[in-house]
Amino acid sequence: MSTEVRSGVTPRRPPPMSPMGGVRYGLILLLVVIGLGLLAGRIVILHVVDRPFLQGQGDARTLRTDTIPAHRGMITDRNGEPLAISTPVVTLWANPQDLPADDIQRLMLARALGMELDALNERIGRYSEREFMYLRRQMTPEAAQQVLGLRIPGVYAQDEYKRYYPAGEVTAQLLGVTNVDDAGQEGLELAYQPHLAGTPGQRRVLKDRRGRLVRDLEVLRDARPGGELTLSIDQRLQYMAYRELKAAVAEHEADGGVVVMMDARTGEVLAMANQPSYNPNNRAGLDPRGLRNQAIVDVFEPGSVMKPLAMAAVMESGQFDRDTVVDTSPGWMRIDRFTIRDIRDYGELDMAGILEKSSNIGMSKLVLELDDPLVPEKYRALGFGQSPETGFPGESTGSLPAPVRWSRSQWAAISYGYGLSVSALQLASAYTAIANDGVRMPPSLLRLPAPAPGSPAIAPAVADDLLGIMEESVQPGTGGRRAAVPGYRVAGKSGTVRKTAASGYQQNVYRSLFAGIAPVSDPRIVTVVMIDHPRGGEYFGGAVAAPVFSRVTGNALRLLDVPPDQRAR
C-alpha cells in the first residue's frame, strides 16, 4: 500500500503586484531614461552646438596676444660709427593682487629692486585695486633675472629697448634724447621719430591663470626695426671740437660757447659742439641750459664777422673795389643821434685794412655811399632771416629787418653786424659762399649722397678777392693772428659784440667770435667759434675765439688728410 507523505507546510506564492507598484516602477525608469537623455543632450550641446563659444571663452583665459618690441634705428656718424643705439632691457611689473602678503618675501623683493620695504608696500597699497603696476623700468637683463630668480608670485617681466649714446655729452644737444618708451623727445631723435621708430610685432602665446608664459604658439606679425640715420658729423672732429670748446670755456670762465664746422664744398656739418652740455645716459641733476642746441636754436648779434659779407655787397655795387681807400679819421663819426667809433684813429685804410683793423668807420662810410639797400639784400641772399631748413626742432630763422624807412645809423650799424640776429649755423653757411666761388651751400645735418645744389650769392671774382683780403687779417701782427694754422693758409674775421638785456646793451658783457676758412688755396672747411661772456680778462674775438679756431681747424685739416698749402698767397 503506497503511502503519500504530506508536509504540514503549504508553499506561499508571491503576492500579485498591485497596480500602484507598477506605476512607480515605470515612473522611476522613465525618469532615469529622461535624465540620461538630458545628460546626453547636454553633452552633445556642449561638444557640438556650444563648442565654438566655449572654446573662445577658454582661449580668452589662456591665449594672449603679446607685443614683440621693435628696436629703434641706429644713428651713426658719416663713417658708420654709432652715435645712438638701442640696447635690450627688461621691465618688471606685478599684479598687486597676486603679490604675497608675507613680509619676508616682500623684503626680498624690495632689496632685489633696490627699494625700501616701506616704499614697496606703499606702492602696492596704491595699486591694490588694480591688476598691473610697474616695479622697475628698463633694468639690465642680468639685474632683472636676479629678481625673477626669487620666484615671487605676481612678478613678471616685459622685454623693451633703451637708448644709449656712446659719445655721451659730446653729441647730446645734436642727437637729443628719447623718453622711457623709446620715443624721441629732443633733437634729431624727435625730428626723425617716424623714420627711427620701429613697428612692434605680435605673437600668440599660452599663459596660465597667473599670467605666466606656458608656450609660444605663433608669430602673428614680425617686428620691423626702425630705419638707420647717417649724420654728416665726423665723430673724430666732433670729439676734438668739443674738447677744445670745453677747455676754452673753462679757461675764460665763460657762460658757454659754440663751434660749428662745415664742409665748404657740400654744406655738410662736420662738427657741432655746445657748452654747457649734459650726459644723455644719466640725466640726474642736469643743467637745463645744456639741453639747448645753441648752434641752431639760439641767435645773437654777430658783430664784425659780418663785415666781409657786407663788403661783398659794397664791392659788387661797382662803386668800389679792393683797392678803394677810405679815410677813417678822426676815428669816430656822428650819425643821427649816435656816435660810431673805432678803437683808435686808423687814418686811411684800403679794403684789406678795414677788415684787418675791423674799422666800423670804414664800413659805415662805404655803406652810406650806396644808393640801394644792397647790404640787406646780400644778407638775405646769404641765408640770413630765413630758416636753414635742416629739419632740426626749433631751428631759428634769426632776424633781418626789412629796409623800410631805415635811418642812416641803421644802415651803418647793419654793415658792422648790429641790428640783426643770426645763428652760428647760418653764419657758417654764409661763409661757404666766400669759400666756394660765391655759391652758398645750404647746411645739412645728414650725410649727402651728392652735394645739394648751392645758391649763387656772391660774384665769383668778388668772393676770390674777399678770400685774399680776409687772409691778410690773419697774418702776424694783426688782430686775427692767433687764428693762424701752421702749414696752412687761413682766411677769417674776428668779432666782439656787446650782449643785450631788457634794458639795452650791457656794460662789460661780450660775445667773442671768429669765422674762418681753410685752406685758402683750396677751401675745404668753414669754422665758426662763439664764446659767450668770457670773464678771464680777455674778451676780444681775436684773443678768445681765434685760438679755438686755430686748434680746431688745424686738427681737422690733419685728420681729413688735407695737404698743407704749397706756398703763401
Contact call for residues 365 and 328 (beta carbons, < 8 A): yes
Can you tell me the distance from the alpha carbon of 485 to that of 479, in angstroms, rounded to the nearest whole number? 15
* Distance of alpha carbon 512 from alpha carbon 498, whole angstroms: 9
How close are the terminal C-alpha atoms of the chain, in Å? 174
Residues 6+ apart with CB under 8 A from 300: 421, 422, 497, 499, 511, 530
Active site residue: 86, 277, 304, 512, which one? 304
Q: Which residues contact 245 (CB under 8 A, 6 or more apart)?
A: 257, 258, 259, 273, 274, 275, 529, 548, 552
Give the amino acid at 20.
M
How far apart are the C-alpha atoms of 567 and 569, rounded to whole Å?
Answer: 6
Judged on CB neighbours under 10 Å (0-12, 13-18, 19+), 109 is buried
Q: What would the 3-class secondary structure string for 227-254 be?
A: CCEEECCCHHHHHHHHHHHHHHHHHCCC
Q: What residues pair up with 421 in beta bridges, in sequence order?
A: 399
Are 440 and 459 a contacting pair, CB within 8 Å? no
What are the cell numbers at 534?
A: 668770457
DSSP category for residue 288: G
CA distance 50 to 43: 10
Whether 473 is catalytic is: no
DSSP secondary structure string for all residues of 7-67: -S-PPPPPPPPPHHHHHHHHHHHHHHHHHHHHHHHHHHIIIIISHHHHHHHHHHHHEEEEE
C-alpha cell at 356: 684787418
C-alpha cell at 279: 650726459
Name the amino acid, one letter, at 103: D
Based on DSSP, count helices (H) and strands (E) in the chain, helices before strands.
18, 19
CA dihedral 50, 56, 59, 61 (to 10 degrees): -90
d(CA 378, CA 382): 6
Amino acid at 104: I
- Distance between CA atoms of residues 220 and 202, nearest Å: 5
Q: How far apart are CA 304 and CA 415, in angstroms?
A: 8
> Helices 307-316 and 408-415: crossing angle, nearest 10°?
110
CA-wise closest residue to 470 among 563, 384, 546, 361: 546
What type of residue sits at position 268? Answer: E
Match 677747455 to its residue by C-alpha cell.
247
Which residues are known to be catalytic?
304
